[in-house]
Structure 1
Amino acid sequence: MEEARQNTSQQSQQGESKMNYPIYEVFIQRDANTAFVHQGSLLAPNEQVALFLAKENFTRRQPCYNLWVVERKHIAQPSPNERKALEKLEDKQYRETKGYGYLKKKWRKYDQEQLTEKNLL
């Protein structure tokens, strides 16, 4: 009886490992002049099935010029420590044009001063 339980637990573990399919990421290029855009993820046992599923799920309703299906583990990304280096290191608002919004108000005040009677005489 004990051996039967062990065999069934081993079989169920083997079945679970067979069902753990890799995750594939799908990228689609709509026409020759556009960039690839991430469409979504899917589970598949191998690349051929993943490509078939990607065609069926992501290209039926809209035109597709090119299709990439990539296993997620093959996509490189920075580590959490390296990701911090991607953030802005300093506050550089002086490079943005929104900092000059006050100039319009100053010019309006200057123009109004020029048109007073005192300045005209």
Structure 2
Amino acid sequence: MRQLVRKDNEAYAIQRNMRVSPSKANAVLEMIRGKKASEALNLLKFSSRGIAKNISKVLNSAIANAENNHQLDIDILKVTEAYCGKGMVMKRWRARAKGRPGRINKFLTNITIKVSEDQVKEVKKVKAK
């Protein structure tokens, strides 16, 4: 399992066993990966995907963790990592022909979003001689 190592300028939020398949969740997470936190929330707000509302809750939780637990500036937060993994699988059975069962798998997803302060690089101007 992937171990989360926290640095001083980042915070994260995890949602376990969300009722959506990992491939559908990853399609939405690709949209927000690498974006500013405010821009990512805007993208999720106007997305037509059903899972976007739940992912925005996880992102809001990560932003709140950054502000309250780690005293980071929320105006310069950036989504550094947004990924999902397989959760549990609910196995259901459906009646098929000749009394046999057909298996239905309902996939669950673990979603992790990590935000950090965007480092603004200050470039020193070198005087020409």
Which category describes the TM-score, using the shorter chain as reference length? under 0.3
Which has more helix, going by share of residues? 1
Give the TM-score of the pair, scaled to structure 2. 0.22
Larger radius of gyration: 1
Give the TM-score of the pair, scaled to structure 1. 0.23
